[in-house]
Amino acid sequence: MTVRVPAKVNLQLAVGPVRPDGYHGVVTVYQAVSLYDEVTVRPAERTRIVVSGEDAASVPTGPTNLASKAVTALARATGQRARPAVQIEIRKRIPMAAGLAGGSADAAATLVACNELWRTGLTQQELCQIAARLGSDVPFALVGGTAVGRGRGELLTAALAAGSYHWALAFASGGLSTPEVYATCDRLRAARSVGEVPEPQLSGPLMAALRSGSPTAVGPELVNDLQPAAISLRPELRRALTAGRAHGAVGVMVSGSGPTCLFLAGDAAHARDLAVSLTGAGICRAVTVASGPVPGAAVVPVRESV
């Protein structure tokens, strides 16, 4: 059973105060983009994870991998007495710890794949409840499209959005730890003594721009409260963002907790031009193009053998 699952970007990431459980209240606008991992699960003697592709060597293959936790969580939720063993093969194109929710995507794909393999028949809503316990971004990887996330990001409502959006994605060398970026955000805010951090609010201008379907309207409304923290941990990101602006991106931002930088283009050809220019500028490890919104985790139909 093979499932294809997209990366996410946050068009808005508004971060509020720390909650009693240690998470930050957020309001975020997610968009799923056409950069995919593929996860195949098959029955096996013992559960094991095999990773290939982007960053394969640095992806944990033990029980700390979110995909492995997804298997356990689904088995428990569906009351399976003996935990059925599966081999999980993850083909990665989404880089690790990049602010693109790659690990969350793999967990979401594993939930969908095991739900099919075991014929447990849970609905997407039921899978979302299990997903929320695995991580804040896991439910969105199931749903895809464009959605507003509240709570710690896991409480989703569909967003009215028109058009499609073409991005150049600049990958940095190495990743950033999400908890460290959130903690740095808190430290920067304390140092600026901004007083009480307000509750996060959905951006009306961004939602209006999304309804218009115009990338040039959306570009100036992109906002990420974690960007200053990501830049303070990786100052070289500033150069990448400046280069994107100089090459005519209609919007630039750090993706989630970083360090991937996002450049919104006017159309597909512009995104390719941006990717070529940014590659030539030699300011990041690699650049790719992707477009959104795309659907969430979905079973790949069995390819007919020839």
Does residue number 178 form part of the binding site for ligand C5P (CB under 6 A)?
A: yes
Distance (Å, whole) CA 1 – CA 77: 20
Amino acid identity at 83: R
Catalytic residue among 37, 55, 106, 137, which?
137
Q: With binding defined as CB under 6 A, does residue 24 bind ligand C5P?
A: yes
Residues 130-169 that bind ligand C5P (CB under 6 A): 135-137, 152-153
> Is-contact 17 26, C-beta < 8 A?
no
Taking the C-alpha atoms of residue 8 and residue 146, their distance in angstroms, rounded to an integer, is 9
Closer by beta carbon to ligand C5P, 183 or else 268: 183
Q: Which of 89, 182, 227, 287 binds ligand C5P (CB under 6 A)?
A: 182
- Residue 137 annotated to the active site: yes
Q: Please identify, using beta-carbon distances, which residue of 84 and 228 lies nearer to ligand C5P.
A: 228
Report in angstroms how near the CB of residue 144 gets to ligand C5P at its nearest: 17
Q: Which of 26, 33, 254, 271 binds ligand C5P (CB under 6 A)?
A: 26
Q: Looking at beta carbons only, is 128 or 271 nearer to ligand C5P?
A: 128
Catalytic site residue from 8, 37, 106, 225: 8
Task: Tell me whether residue 144 or residue 153 sits nearer to ligand C5P (CB atom).
Answer: 153
- Interface characters, 48-67, with ligand C5P (x: CB under 6 A): --------------------
Closest distance to ligand C5P from the beta carbon of 152 (Å): 3
Residue whose CB is less far from ligand C5P, 19 or 83:
19
Q: Does 8 bind ligand C5P (CB under 6 A)?
A: no
Q: Which residues bind ligand C5P (CB under 6 A)?
A: 23-24, 26, 135-137, 152-153, 178-179, 182
